[in-house]
Amino acid sequence: MKHNFGAGPCILPQEVFKEAAAAVLDFNGLSILEVSHRSADFVKVMEEARENVKKALNVPEGYTVLFLQGGASLGFLIAAYNLAGKHKRAAYINTGTWATKAVKEGANAGLEAIQIASSEDKGFNYIPDASEIPEDIDFLHYTSNNTIVGTQFKSIPETNVPLVCDMSSDIFSQPIDVSKFDLIYAGAQKNLGPAGATLYIVKDSILGKSSLHIPTYLDLAVHAKKDSMFNTPPVYSVFVSNLNLKHLLKNGGVEEMAKKNQAKADLLYNEIDNNPNFEGTTEVKDRSLMNVTFRLTDDSKKERFDQLWNDGNIVGLKGHRSVGGYRASMYNALELKSVEALVSIMKSL
Amino acid sequence: MKHNFGAGPCILPQEVFKEAAAAVLDFNGLSILEVSHRSADFVKVMEEARENVKKALNVPEGYTVLFLQGGASLGFLIAAYNLAGKHKRAAYINTGTWATKAVKEGANAGLEAIQIASSEDKGFNYIPDASEIPEDIDFLHYTSNNTIVGTQFKSIPETNVPLVCDMSSDIFSQPIDVSKFDLIYAGAQKNLGPAGATLYIVKDSILGKSSLHIPTYLDLAVHAKKDSMFNTPPVYSVFVSNLNLKHLLKNGGVEEMAKKNQAKADLLYNEIDNNPNFEGTTEVKDRSLMNVTFRLTDDSKKERFDQLWNDGNIVGLKGHRSVGGYRASMYNALELKSVEALVSIMKSL
Residues in A 48-87 with any Cβ partner in B closer than 8 A? 69-74, 77
Q: Give catalytic status of residue A309 as yes or no.
A: no
Which residue from A77, A109, A195 is facing B232, i.e. has the nearest CB? Answer: A195
pLDDT in tens, A217-273: 999 999 999 999 999 999 999 999 999 999 999 999 999 999 999 999 999 999 999
Tell me what the mean pLDDT of segment B30-39 comes to. 97
Query: What architecture is domain B14-250?
Result: 3-Layer(aba) Sandwich (3.40)
Look at A215 and B108 and tell me if their CB atoms are within 8 Å. yes
Which residue of B lies nearest to A22 if distances are taken between CA atoms? B21
Look at B194 and A33 and tell me if their CB atoms are within 8 Å. yes
Look at B33 and A20 and tell me if their CB atoms are within 8 Å. yes
Look at A71 and B231 and tell me if their CB atoms are within 8 Å. yes
Q: What integer pLDDT is reported at residue B347 of this predicted model?
A: 98
Contact A90/A136 with Cβ under 8 angstroms?
Answer: no
Look at B232 and A9 and tell me if their CB atoms are within 8 Å. yes
> What is the share, in percent, of chain B residues with pLDDT greater than 90?
99
The residues with which A201 forms a beta bridge, in sequence order, are A65, A184
pLDDT band at A334 (very low <50, low <70, confident <90, very high): very high
Q: What integer pLDDT is reported at residue B178 of this predicted model?
A: 98
- How far is the CA of B160 from the CAs of B118, B131, B145, in angstroms? 20, 12, 22
Average pLDDT score over chain A: 97
Straight-line distance from the first to the last Cα atom of chain A, in angstroms, rounded to the nearest whole number: 22
Query: Given this structure, which CATH class describes domain B3-7+253-348?
Result: alpha beta
Buried-exposed string A173-199: b where 16+ CB fall within 10 A, e elsewhere: bbebebeebbbbbbbbbbbbbbbbbbb
Q: Is the CB of residue B12 less than 8 Å away from at least one CB of chain A?
A: yes
Query: Domain map of chain B by residue range?
Result: 3-7+253-348, 14-250
Residue B321, pLDDT > 90, answer no
CA B54 to mean position of chain CA atoms: 16
Q: What is the ipTM of this complex?
A: 0.98
Which residue of A lies nearest to B23 if distances are taken between CA atoms? A21
Q: What integer pLDDT is reported at residue B83 of this predicted model?
A: 98
CA A194 to mean position of chain CA atoms: 12
Q: What are the binding residues of B for pyridoxal 5'-phosphate? A: 72-73, 98, 147, 166, 189, 231-232
**CATH code of the domain made up of A252-348:** 3.90.1150.10
Top residue of A17, A232, A238 to mutate, by most chain B CBs within 10 Å, is: A232
